[in-house]
Amino acid sequence: MSESDSAKLAAVAWIREQMDRHALTLDDLVEAGCFDNVATASAGAEEAAPSAATAAAPKPAGARPLYRNALGQSWDGQGEYPDWLQRAVNAGQSIEFFRVD
> Tens digit of pLDDT for each residue in 38-60?
554 445 544 444 444 444 455 55
Q: Where in the chain is the domain with CATH 4.10.430?
A: 51-101
- Alpha carbon distance, N-terminus to C-terminus of the chain: 21
What's the pTM value of the predicted model, to 2 decimals? 0.40
What confidence score (pLDDT) does residue 57 get? Answer: 53
Q: Which long-range contacts (CB under 8 A, 24 or more apart) does 88-95 make?
A: 93/7, 95/67
Length of the chain: 101
Mean confidence (pLDDT) of the chain: 77
Do 57 and 73 meet the contact criterion of CB atoms below 8 Å apart?
yes
Assign domain 51-101 one CATH number from 4.10.430, 1.10.1740, 1.10.1670, 3.30.200: 4.10.430
Which stretches does DSSP call E strand in 1-101? 67-68, 74-75
